[in-house]
Chain A
Amino acid sequence: MGAIVYGYFTDELDLLHGIKELQEKGISIEDVRTPFPVHGLDSVLKLRRSHLPKVAFLAGIVGLTIGMGFQIWVFTKGWPLNFGGKPYMSIPSFIPVAFELTVLFAAYTMGISFLVRSKLGPGQIPDILDEKVTDDHFQIILSEEKNKMNNEELSAALAATGALDVKLLKGEQ
């Protein structure tokens, strides 16, 4: 990874203005780190929408199928039991369990795929440049490689938008 330049803002509106100013100068932004989701940030950075909802839907269908399939198999083939004279194959009684498994599968799959996708989770060392981005700071990161500009120009451009504490990080070559 090449050298990067980063600086922070203390207000989300300043951050959005800063991004726009940089984009108007033709500078592409490597990454933006915020302590919470900032409204309008995705559209400014032109990020694609996450596929997480689709993952959740498919995982939910898998959960529903497993929940229904397992119960139907158990109560008709595996170990049929008579509950209060009800037929073995009683769909209404399967619904709560199938519902719970749908939710369980969707929720766990979403959580796990989020962790995998954002390279988080136990044992991972997060590459946080400044711990304040987990608290109240909004950070813009610019990469030298992608911008065909040198460090000084990038730092100056970033500082001109009002970013505080602009720093340079040399990459490990």
Chain B
Amino acid sequence: MIEKKVIPEAVPFKFSQKLKNILYIAAVVGLLALVWGIFVDKAPSARIWANVWLNSLIFLFIGLGSLFFWAVNTLGESGWQTSFQRVLEAMGQTIPFAAILLLMALPGMKDLFEWTHTDHLDEILQSKTAYLNIPFWLIRFAVYFAGWWFFANRLRKISIKNDLEPTENFLKRIRSTAGWFMVFFAVTSSMSAWDWLMSIDAHWFSTLYGWYTFSSMFVLALAVIILITIAFKKYNILPHIRDEHLHDLGKYLFGFSIFWAYLWISQYLLIWYSNIPEETHYFVERTENFNELFYLNVLINFLVPFLALMTRGAKRQPLYLAVIACVLIAGHWLDIYLAIMPGVVGHEEAKIGVLEIGLPFFYFAAFLWIFFISFGKAKATPENHPYFKESFDYENI
């Protein structure tokens, strides 16, 4: 039996002017960093486009990852996520804006992707042109986003409609939609990772790259979900969020950090063992020229969450969990940085300067802006969800 604590009255969410001002400032900081990078730092165009691409992808990953989180928990018939489900829904609404942000980087495609201007002597790239050509790439881009946006929107609509007029087949509808999304996501998450990240080093390939990118995406999304949930609990927008919910989210963060490390070592170990030049050059580039960052990546994304989130108390302590979530956001930014920079910019030009540190602020501000607007459009909790009541009355043993 759970001790009944006094739950404060829920404060309706309002996208206040103060919040808007903070986001304005963050966005301006990001844009100033971009201006600094272009005019003061005189960064080469490859570095600018690589940064735009990197941050747009992170913007997408956070929204798409939380949509996946919602779908997988709906399919698993779990109840606990319904208490903060509207956060996940609103995060999923950012997906079409991610498409716009990614499209804005398209003028830099020649800088980003070597395969767009392959010459006839490059036999490896020539042999891949059936898949890696600009029209087909754009078609795939459109298909991914059309699908993701369709499912994000449909799941959101079913969920919101249930607030007004609850229907009997609500669970059935939302589950079947989530199921079809999973099928679509399973294919497109891998393929988009090939298209947008792996094809940067088009001479190289790795068969588990899709999963690897997915694990990074999911950890990023979880970290942001945790931060938003903790903040909403603090400001009583979701007052019924308890330590139990944070505990479960913390377990997810812990588990998928280990999953990421498992895929990282699997990819590295096999290539290191077989020692075939066409495969190893990817890692040689990174261990020779990005040595510190390469090992720092594993340290931040595996060792830190593994040791820091191991105990029960750590996962139930909101402030502590929030700090680890921030560390992991930085860590997975670095992970994708290491996937993009060596191929696009090269080790002579790539560095972590004002541009790299400042630009993410713009994207995070944009993300939160869209998120807050979407979140404000619906009730803060899906009160008619059949699992809603049980979602805040449970306990981790």
Contact = CB atoms under 8 A, between A and B. Distances in A.
Interface of A: 13, 16-17, 20, 37, 39-40, 42-44, 49, 53, 57, 84-86, 92-93, 95-96
Contacts of B269: 92-93, 95-96
A53 B311 contact: yes
Nearest to B311: A53
24 contacts: A13-B1, A16-B1, A20-B1, A39-B394, A39-B395, A40-B1, A40-B2, A42-B397, A43-B3, A43-B395, A44-B1, A49-B312, A53-B311, A84-B273, A84-B275, A85-B275, A86-B275, A92-B265, A92-B268, A92-B269, A92-B272, A93-B273, A95-B265, A95-B269
Please report whether the interface of chain B is mostly helix, strand, loop or mixed according to DSSP: loop
Nearest to A37: B397
Interface residues of B, number: 15
B310 A57 contact: yes
Please report whether the interface of chain A is mostly helix, strand, loop or mixed according to DSSP: helix
A40 B273 contact: no
Nearest to A60: B310
B276 to A, nearest CB: 11
Given A13-B1, A92-B265, 11 more contacts: A37-B397, A39-B394, A40-B1, A42-B397, A43-B3, A49-B312, A53-B312, A92-B272, A93-B269, A93-B273, A95-B269
Nearest to A44: B1
Q: Select the residue from A37, A39, A49, A96 with max chain B CB neighbours within 10 A.
A: A39
Contacts of A92: 265, 268-269, 272-273
Contacts of B397: 37, 39, 42
A99 to B, nearest CB: 9
A85 B269 CA distance: 15
A42 B3 CA distance: 12
Contacts of B311: 53
Interface in B258-279: 265, 268-269, 272-273, 275
Contacts of A86: 275
Interface in B355-393: none
Q: Select the residue from A17, A85, A92 with max chain B CB neighbours within 10 A.
A: A92
Contacts of A42: 397
Contacts of A39: 394-395, 397
A96 B312 CA distance: 27
Nearest to A39: B395
A112 B268 CA distance: 35
Nearest to A95: B265
Q: Select the residue from A17, A37, A40, A96 with max chain B CB neighbours within 10 A.
A: A40
Nearest to B307: A57
A102 B239 CA distance: 40
Nearest to B397: A37
A160 B86 CA distance: 46
Contacts of B394: 39
